[in-house]
Chain A
Amino acid sequence: MSASTFGSGIRRREDPRLITGTATYTDDIVLPGMLHAAMLRSPFAHARIRNIDTSAAAEAPGVVAVYIGADTDGEIGPAPCAWLLPDSGLTIADYHCIAKDTARYVGDIVAVVVAESIHQTYDALDLIDVDYDMLDAVVEPKQSAAEGAPQLHAEIEGNQAFHWTVTGGGDITEAFESADVVVKETIVQQRLIPNAMEPRAALASYTKATGELTLWNTTQNPHIVRFLVSLVAGIPEDRLRVIAPEVGGGFGSKIAVYPADFITVFCSKKLGVPVKWVETRSENYQATTHGRDHVQEIELAATSDGKIVGLRATVWAGMGAYLSTAAPGIPTILHGLMLSGVYDIPAIHEDVYGLYTNTTPVEAYRGAGRPEATFMVERLVDLLATKLGMDPAEVRRRNFIPKFDDGHDVVTGLTYDSGDYDGALTKLLGEAGYDQLRAEQAEARKEGRYIGVGLSTYVEICGLGPSQVAGAIGFQGGLWESAIVRFHPSGKVNVMIGASPHGQGEETTFAQIIAGELGVSPDDVKVIHGDTENTPMGWGTYGSRTTAVGGAALALAARKIRDKAMVIAAHLLEAAVEDMEYEDGKFFVKGSPESSKTIQDIALMANVAWNMPEGVEAGLEATTFYDPPNFVFPYGAHLAKVEVDAETGSVTLQRYVAVDDCGPQINPVIVEGQVHGGIVQGIGQALWEEGVYDEDGQLLTGTMLDYAIPRADGLPDIEVHSTVTPSPHHPLGVKGIGEAGTIASTAAVYNAVIDALQPLGVSSVRMPLTPERVWRSIQAAEEDN
């Protein structure tokens, strides 16, 4: 009932419907006369399409229409790339929704069938006869850049989508030439497959008489979907309604607007009836965007006492066969600009080559560019520690940016908002019992057991972001957020937001923000999101921005309400506004709290408007569009403890301890949940997950049997701690926490495994650290010795 609700770990109100199976997902929606669509996808990674014979499919039972690429000419344009990375020679290959003459990855759509039932669509797909002429394929980004590599797009030389560079601080060559020590490493950030529980889906319903279309779509950003569908399918935005109903996980894979979404819209528009498309799990593996896929050559220069003087890197980033909606910004802006990490690094240079390959397009995946950056920096710092024979914690301490609470510039051009990196590490080492762990490790080594302790100290950029910056970095949209707060006569509240949470818990935390600002019970606040018809414009939920940006919009809207309520209360209490005070949902004349008006009293009066102050409008409602002045920069320190069985190469993760600082926590239980999930996804990259293609571009990890998603039996209890450093520029001081765990944990676990293997002479193992790879590395190291 009071401001104390802000900061309490109340239960997520989203959960009852989710855990009782009563939530409504896109696939649950059934409309009268609805038809079903299914996509025929190329089984070849690279093939010329000589001919497509759809005649047998068109005559199959229940089939209403079969379309190929040529049928969409003039109806839907290519799927757009909307992050036009400047100064990078960006070349965007046309991503035709239905491939026209060439298929460029296993999963590229070559035809669509619309039929009365789902089963009829699949039966008809089998009857389409496509005459393919198989071409050579390239799947690995560095190979794609090599001379003589198969070329994906005739108009694009060397398969290069872009070459982006970041240079900051002093002369990098000079830094390396004058350094006492240099450490180097080549890292493969393997391809990951997001695996949201709900595969992608779209239901389009077009009414020919009015020219209006409603699209239910499992997306993280319905307003962006509306914007892009309007452009690609030529339906004016005012006649286009996009609804993201319950969305069963995204992790970045539901940012993009996909060819299949546009095709579903096209089919409904063409046929004038509702058309639903739901991806199979097998399609999800092939055609929903993947993450990571970097080859990184990295090096760090330092003085003999462990002070870093320069960091230099070249990265080959696989982009897949086409550029997905936000893809170019991920391995560049969200990656290269973060290479200073939590350290004071005087000179940084990175070249990033974005390469087309005959693979599924790569997009944001939880952390999106930042895990890849954190891994590079944290790996190099550990290598430096090993080289100098120093403790990895000590090397970190010698290089940390000192504590700051209102802005710190790093050489890549960013201004971090606030941080106390040494504070986070100190807390971590204490909670984990670091010295004891090192003693235990030394004892174990005497017994021939290999225990490892790994650290990862990170800072991330999130709360994307100032719109002016968005424009400068080529993001084809704004990055502000919006909120409407509406009081009903009874004092109940509806909050309408432009962001589109899908599991992060903002239906709960945003009610807590209102409770904190206006003194209502969170139970009296309903948060509405995900429908472009009844929410204000917003740019979506990704980049840990919903609370960091949308939460700020909401807090400011609530404060507008409070200001207006104060004027009405003053009028009702016959006092001057300057003499009024507010506390815990009550408005009263200073010194007379016994005679007060509650926010509910004011809501009733404002709605009936029987007795309003002169010149004050009826209603108690406020709208805010909030454009943040800067990003927010959460940070923390994580520790992993592992034991490696040198006989089998198997890694047991024994402990995981996290200290994260996301500023004041609106709901610590939800923060803990986000930290848990994030950490596990990062551990998955370190130990188990990899999307694998064979050399012909066949996806070998196309099912849940073949792709290793983390399971509870491989994980210890995650020990979660925090520090609290408010962001100086956020109205509530809060930062973001959705991606932090993933950004930190891959490096922590990797560093722990390498630390364990140090006595065996292993300094590098390609991820994921499966028993086979670890075992082979141990054998190779033994042979070298």
Chain B
Amino acid sequence: MQFQSRYSFDADPGRVFDAMTDPATVAKCLPGCERLEAIGENRYRAQMTIGVAAIKGRFKGTVELRDLDRPNCYSMRVDGRGPAGYAKGESRVTIAPSDAGSSVSVTAKAQIGGAVARVGQRLLAGTAKMVADRFFACLRSRVAEREAG
């Protein structure tokens, strides 16, 4: 599955970068995220519950941030699995200054298998977009709160 989207923030790239790479903020904003704990430098153990169509399941896995280049870009590698299937993916995030503040562009590629892929195939891209939209909406309000604070 491939995914591509763009989000705009009214904060400068540095702040956006910091929020996006802060495990506490990510854990709060990522829908279904139940746990995100550091297990090494830029490596985290994660637990998430995700539902796609009729299939809902808990996924456990690792998240690794790589090639960090504040405030411009970073990559994220995710590897998770559970009874409902597995997901293995890599995303590239680039943050550029814009008139509003920053423009974040996300491209991701994932291999998804098991019941999630079999039953929810048609809804995977839609679900990914929904999760990402909610994640960035939350992130936006957090960044705004901090700007205000």
Interface residues of A (CB under 8 A from B): 43-45, 106, 125-126, 134, 282, 285-286, 694, 696, 698-700, 702-703, 705-706
Contact = CB atoms under 8 A, between A and B. Distances in A.
A755 B85 CA distance: 45
B113 A696 contact: yes
A573 to B, nearest CB: 71
A380 to B, nearest CB: 36
A285 B118 contact: yes
Contact of B122 (A106, A282, A706): A706
A706 B119 CA distance: 8
B121 A706 contact: yes
A222 B140 CA distance: 65
A702 B119 contact: yes
B118 A702 contact: yes
B119 A698 contact: no
A294 B112 CA distance: 26
Contacts of B114: 43
A698 B83 contact: no
A285 B119 CA distance: 11
Contacts of A44: 86, 113
Q: Which of B81, B83, B118 has the most CB of A within 10 A?
A: B118
Nearest to B86: A43
Name the prevailing secondary structure of the A interface residues. Answer: loop
Q: Which of B113, B114, B117 has the most CB of A within 10 A?
A: B113
Contact of B117 (A134, A285, A698): A698
A43 B113 contact: yes
B114 to A, nearest CB: 3
Contacts of B88: 134
Contacts of A106: 113, 118
Contacts of B86: 43-44
Contacts of B4: none
Nearest to A43: B114
Contacts, number: 41
A703 B119 contact: yes
Nearest to A696: B111
Interface in B3-32: none
B118 A699 contact: yes
A331 B144 CA distance: 65
Interface string B72-102: 0000000001010110100000000000000
List the 3 closest A-B pairs by CB distance, nearest first: A702-B118, A43-B114, A126-B83
15 contacts: A43-B85, A44-B113, A106-B113, A125-B83, A126-B83, A134-B88, A282-B119, A285-B118, A696-B111, A699-B117, A700-B117, A702-B118, A702-B119, A705-B122, A706-B122
B60 to A, nearest CB: 10
Interface residues of B, number: 15
Given A126-B83, A134-B88, A282 B118 contact: yes
B113 A703 contact: no
B115 interface: yes
Contacts of B112: 698
B113 A698 contact: yes
A650 B85 CA distance: 35
Interface in B103-149: 111-115, 117-119, 121-122
Nearest to A41: B114
B88 to A, nearest CB: 7
A698 B116 CA distance: 10
A698 B113 CA distance: 6
A253 B112 CA distance: 28
Contacts of A45: 113
A694 B111 CA distance: 10
A282 B115 contact: yes
Contacts of A699: 117-118
Contacts of B115: 43, 282
A755 to B, nearest CB: 33
Nearest to A126: B83
Contacts of B117: 694, 698-700, 702
B55 to A, nearest CB: 10
B49 to A, nearest CB: 14
A703 B118 contact: yes
A286 B118 CA distance: 9
A698 B83 CA distance: 16
A214 to B, nearest CB: 33
Contacts of A286: 118
A721 B117 CA distance: 45
A535 to B, nearest CB: 39
Nearest to A40: B83
Given A43-B114, A285-B118, A705-B122, 4 more contacts: A134-B88, A282-B115, A698-B117, A703-B119
A235 to B, nearest CB: 34
A702 B85 CA distance: 14
Contacts of A282: 115, 118-119
Q: Which of B81, B85, B121 has the most CB of A within 10 A?
A: B121
A106 to B, nearest CB: 7
A134 B80 CA distance: 13
B1 to A, nearest CB: 9
A44 B79 CA distance: 14
A384 B132 CA distance: 55
Contacts of A705: 122
A446 B121 CA distance: 43
A702 B112 CA distance: 14
B143 to A, nearest CB: 36
A743 B55 CA distance: 38
Contacts of A703: 118-119
Contacts of B119: 282, 702-703
A705 B114 CA distance: 16
A694 B83 CA distance: 20
A44 B85 CA distance: 9
Contacts of B81: 43
A104 to B, nearest CB: 14
A115 to B, nearest CB: 16
A698 B1 CA distance: 11
A703 B53 CA distance: 12
Contacts of B83: 125-126
A702 B52 CA distance: 15
Contacts of B113: 43-45, 106, 696, 698
A699 B117 CA distance: 8
B62 to A, nearest CB: 14
A285 B113 CA distance: 15
Contacts of A125: 83
A287 to B, nearest CB: 12
A698 B112 CA distance: 8
B111 A700 contact: no
